[in-house]
Chain A
Amino acid sequence: MQQTRSVEVGTGLFVLLGMGALFFLTTQTTGGDDFSADETYTVEARFENIGSLRNRAPVAMSGVTIGRVTSVKFDRVTLEAVVGFVIDAQFNQIPDDSDATILTSGILGSQYIGLQAGGSDTYLEDGSEMLFTQSAIVLENLIGKFLVNAGSGGED
């Protein structure tokens, strides 16, 4: 009987350790969810180019994450990218003329949406659309422009 008991204890410990490891992997290595809010409101923004912005990318204001991208769609009429994101409901005093820019965190980092406060008296609310947006900077385009400038500069 003692034999079975130690086997059972050993197995129990092993399974608990395994579940702990799975839990650790799913919670500690993924997500990085510094954003979790019970109540949110949804805002949309249209961009000419979103670069490599992905679903679940953070939405930050002054560097603090206040929301998360929930959908990236393409408008077939206006040929623009339509990005939907949610913002924590407690931040309900963001002027509706704020502008949204797609930024990159670090050199190799992932892209996120940065909001820059505007000066309007009316605030963003559920279903609003951002008026001012700036597209992502695509490195190839930037280099292309630089080369064209350098080339035309050389002819003068």
Chain B
Amino acid sequence: MNKLLREIYNNGIEFVRTFGAFQLFFMRLLRHSPGILIRRFDLVIMQVFNTGALSLVIIMVSGLFVGGVLGLQGYSNLARFNAEDSIGVFAAFGLVKELGPVITALLFAGRAGTSLASEIGLMKATDQLSAMEMMAVNPVPRVLVPRFLGGVIAMPFLAAIFSMIGLFGTHLVAVELLSVDVGAFWQQMQSTVELEDINEGILKSIVFGVAASLIAVWEGYNAIPTAEGVGRATTRTVVITAIAVLIFDFMITAVML
């Protein structure tokens, strides 16, 4: 009994310690961010390419099909109330406010987050980070900060592209396939969706971008420097990002509503 309590206590302390270390790590990245943005922007561009441009294919294909599914589902449900004209509103709200940022963040964690975590973890396992320190190069601003910033910059763009392609997917299914009136589709959307709704989506994608990049970089940097450790760090990146994104999504929606 006593042993069990001690175990729980130790685990609790460990959890709080990790959480605190995570916050301090975030602060460290933020402190180096302005300097890197000004002096080594080329490194950031490289990472925007790695995380953003290389994720385009998965984002666009997923967006098209998610939009198409929204069209099918929305049509069959709205048709019961003779309101299939409102499908544009339905799809736009769904994509811009929820599905765009959330699914993009989940795909981002799977596509870019894992590659960040395994890359950094492998650098650590092969002593590249230690080698940098030996040469008096701080690996935090040189390796971690550009990757973090690259993800943060890429994420809002990816989410916006996802939403836009998704709307085209809905248009394709609803207007071309199910012959909803094209005028009603866009007109109703335009008269209902407000700029605040778009802003909510952008805010979410920025928050998710920070969360996903931060978790990926953190997991990679703290990976146990073995093959197994890197593999575990990659898995944890996806799991933790998914949970964090969904919790943040709930909180932001609750506050903005």
Q: Which residues in A have some Cβ–Cβ distance to B below 8 Å?
A: 4, 7-8, 10-11, 13-15, 17-22, 24-26, 28-32, 108-110
- A residues in contact with B186, CB < 8 Å: 28
Q: Which of A11, A17, A110 meets B49, CB within 8 Å?
A: A11
Q: Could you say which of A4, A15, A31 has the most chain B C-beta atoms within 10 Å of its C-beta?
A: A15
B111 CB → nearest A CB, Å: 14
Shortest beta-carbon contacts, A-B, top 5: A18-B157, A32-B190, A21-B160, A14-B53, A21-B164
Beta-carbon nearest neighbor of A8 in chain B: B45
- B residues in contact with A4, CB < 8 Å: 42
* A11 CA / B49 CA spacing, docked (Å): 5
A114 CB → nearest B CB, Å: 16
A10 touches B96 (CB 8 A): no
* A31 CA / B198 CA spacing, docked (Å): 11
A33 CB → nearest B CB, Å: 8
B147 CB → nearest A CB, Å: 14
Q: Which of A13, A22, A28 meets B190, CB within 8 Å?
A: A28
- B residues in contact with A19, CB < 8 Å: 157
Q: Please name 26 pairs of A and B residues whose Cβ atoms are closer than 8 Å in the assembled complex, sorted by A.
A: A4-B42, A7-B45, A8-B49, A14-B49, A14-B52, A14-B56, A14-B154, A14-B157, A15-B52, A15-B157, A17-B157, A18-B160, A18-B161, A20-B164, A21-B160, A21-B161, A22-B202, A25-B163, A25-B198, A26-B195, A29-B190, A30-B193, A30-B194, A31-B190, A32-B191, A108-B86
* A108 CA / B154 CA spacing, docked (Å): 38
Q: Which of B96, B156, B198 meets A18, CB within 8 Å?
A: B156
Q: Per DSSP, are chain B's interface residues mostly helix, strand or loop, or mixed?
A: helix
Q: Which residues in B have some Cβ–Cβ distance to A below 8 Å?
A: 42, 45-46, 48-49, 52-53, 56, 83, 86, 92, 96, 154, 156-158, 160-161, 163-164, 167, 186-195, 197-198, 201-202
B190 touches A11 (CB 8 A): no
B50 CB → nearest A CB, Å: 9
- B residues in contact with A17, CB < 8 Å: 56, 157, 161
- A residues in contact with B45, CB < 8 Å: 7-8, 11
* A7 CA / B194 CA spacing, docked (Å): 36
Tally of A-B Cβ pairs under 8 angstroms: 80
- B residues in contact with A24, CB < 8 Å: 164
* A10 CA / B52 CA spacing, docked (Å): 10
Q: Which of A15, A20, A29, A31 meets B96, CB within 8 Å?
A: A29
A11 touches B53 (CB 8 A): yes
- A residues in contact with B193, CB < 8 Å: 29-30
A105 CB → nearest B CB, Å: 8
Beta-carbon nearest neighbor of B85 in chain A: A106
* A7 CA / B156 CA spacing, docked (Å): 20
- B residues in contact with A109, CB < 8 Å: 188, 191
Q: Which of A7, A22, A32 meets B160, CB within 8 Å?
A: A22
- A residues in contact with B163, CB < 8 Å: 21, 25
* A4 CA / B197 CA spacing, docked (Å): 38
A34 CB → nearest B CB, Å: 9
B161 touches A11 (CB 8 A): no
A7 CB → nearest B CB, Å: 5
* A24 CA / B202 CA spacing, docked (Å): 13
- A residues in contact with B188, CB < 8 Å: 109
* A18 CA / B194 CA spacing, docked (Å): 20
